[in-house]
A = this chain, B = another copy of it.
Amino acid sequence: MSIDPKPAVVLLSGGLDSTTTLAIARAEGFEPLALTFAYGQRQKVELDAAQAVARAQSVSIHKVVTIDLGTFGGSALTADIPVPKDRPPASAAVPVTYVPARNTIFLAYALAWAEVTGAFDIFLGVNAVDYSGYPDCRPEFVAAFERLANLATAAATTGRGRFVIHAPLLALSKAEIIKRGVALGVDYGLTRSCYDPQGDLACGHCDACALRHAGFVAAGLVDPTRYVTPPKGQR
């Protein structure tokens, strides 16, 4: 742990991946500034989870920014489109839970906050192994945003520093992510991943529940999630 940790903006949804990413940022010696979006998503329990996670990990500044992606619609997470259930795991298509340009918008805000606070590091919990097939979760997207950040900002173009977009989960399986988090002391009971929760219960049948549950099973750990009906497969 460095004596004078560098600030880093960490995108925190309250889900399993971003919560693990927050713990990794801290473990790598950064002082995390957590950024959460109330973006019109149907899974509002995410926001409570993000608050609980930020408290549990002693985040000194946690900003929740309200942005209305519902104004554009086009996704099952922000419009009146059903969340798909029990999808075949190897489906190649981008599912309707994809939110157009979501990670581009989130990273753009993170970049703004980073520049204002003097941070040059941004952490993002995207993962391209056990994921829903969203294009803005792939390494080439992350690399392209990093390149953009270093052309877009006064901080980078006047030589004060160089932005780095950290995506430490990119190449990890869900089981590896969970094992990493557990080793860092993450309490996954605080996190929420479900795309279509019923109150405080996860649906158990959307892509996010399926991936999450399979991850705990593969890691040989107990899944602390409370489901309406548990996901298929080993329990």
Contacts and interface: CB of A to CB of B under 8 A. Distances in A.
A148 interface: yes
Q: How many copies does the complex hold?
A: 2
Contacts of A69: 112
A109 to B, nearest CB: 6
Contacts of A138: 151
Contact of A111 (B68, B71, B93, B104): B104
Chain A: interface secondary structure?
helix
Given A68-B66, A136-B153, A148 B104 contact: yes
A4 interface: no
Given A148-B141, A152-B136, A153-B136, A104 B100 contact: no
Interface residues on A, range: 35 or more
Interface in A98-150: 98-105, 107-109, 111-113, 115-116, 134-136, 138, 140-141, 144-145, 147-149
Contact of A100 (B68, B102, B141, B153): B153
Contacts of A29: none
14 contacts: A65-B71, A69-B112, A74-B112, A74-B115, A94-B154, A100-B112, A100-B116, A101-B112, A104-B149, A136-B152, A136-B153, A140-B151, A144-B147, A145-B148
